[in-house]
Amino acid sequence: MRKGSFCYPYPRPALTTDCVIFGFDEGELKVLLIKRTTDPFRGKWALPGGFVNMDETTEACAKRILIKETGLKGVFIEQLFTLSDLNRDPRERIISVAYYALLKISDYVVTGGEDAAIAQWHGISTVPKLAFDHNKIVKVALDRLRGKVRYVPIGFELLSEKFTLTQLQHLYEAILGASLDKRNFRKKFLKMKLLKPLTEKQEGVAHKAARFHIFDKKKYAELTSKGFNFEI
């Protein structure tokens, strides 16, 4: 590994990724946590994560872990930040690149994880004390999501393909942690012309059936290239 004229510093920190996986279910924003079965922090909840291989980028590593833990791919994933404190891990120095991902919880089947680790969704407001500095990562992820969801249409990554306007509103309320005015919310969204109404409606509800909508990605790309800015 050392080459002729240069001498790169040894030893080196180990490199991992940790991933905050967000889902939305029953009107609540949720995070996927793993129960640790090994020391340190055996028995504690933690973010899914693992070591970066020499032949993969950190993003590829985060995606690999995501698939391993949830079986889902093609989801939205974005780098958060890198943690480099000296004593993050009691064993040795480990640098971790944190990511967050959004996925449609409705598509998700709890697999239990390959290595028999327990994976479980936790409501964002009831996340327990986590292993390592993972609570800090969750906090930053939530802040980022809150900031981003208002000016980039990423909320749809958390809903199924077809959704009602009320479901969409509940999603925004869950993420932003605030209640929104129904009429203003609809007005604002519909004015952007990014939602295609379907003829299909809700079934089996004990009230007026809501119309389903889908997010028109193509139109969004088109408008964006013309200088349009999403904002909610």
Partner DNA sequence: CCAAAAGTGTTCACGTTACACCCATGT
Partner DNA sequence: ACATGGGTGTAACGTGAACACTTTTGG
Identified binder of a second copy from the candidate list 6, 114, 199, 229, rule CB under 8 A: 6
Residue 204 binding partner per list a second copy, DNA, none, with a CB distance cut-off of 5 to 8 Å that depends on partner kind? DNA
Residue 159: its H or E element:
none
Residue 91 binding partner per list DNA, a second copy, none, with a CB distance cut-off of 5 to 8 Å that depends on partner kind? a second copy
In the numeric block, the tokens 């009691």 are attached to: 90
CA distances from 194 to 100, 161, 164, 214, 222 (A): 25, 14, 14, 8, 11
3-state helix, strand, coil in the chain (%, to 5): 30, 25, 45
| Residue whose CB is less far from a second copy, 29 or 62 | 62
Residue 188 binding partner per list DNA, a second copy, none, with a CB distance cut-off of 5 to 8 Å that depends on partner kind? DNA
Identified binder of a second copy from the candidate list 66, 97, 127, 158, rule CB under 8 A: 97
Burial class (CB in 10 A: 0-12, 13-18, 19+), 4: exposed
Q: What is the Cα–Cα distance from 22 to 119, expressed in whole angstroms? A: 13
| Residue whose CB is less far from a second copy, 87 or 225 | 87
Nearest Cα residue to 20 out of 132, 178, 179: 132
Alpha helix segments (H runs only) across 71-133: none
Judged by the rule CB under 7 A, the positions of this chain that interact with DNA are 164-166, 181-184, 186-188, 201, 203-211, 231
| Residue whose CB is less far from DNA, 140 or 210 | 210
Using rule CB under 8 A, residue 51 touches a second copy: yes
Using rule CB under 8 A, residue 91 touches a second copy: yes
Taken as a whole, the chain contains a residue count of 232
Residue 182 binding partner per list DNA, a second copy, none, with a CB distance cut-off of 5 to 8 Å that depends on partner kind? DNA
Give the shortest CB-178-to-a second copy separation in angstroms. Answer: 13
| Residue whose CB is less far from DNA, 140 or 180 | 180
Give the shortest CB-204-to-DNA separation in angstroms. Answer: 6
| Residue whose CB is less far from DNA, 67 or 209 | 209
Burial class (CB in 10 A: 0-12, 13-18, 19+), 223: middle
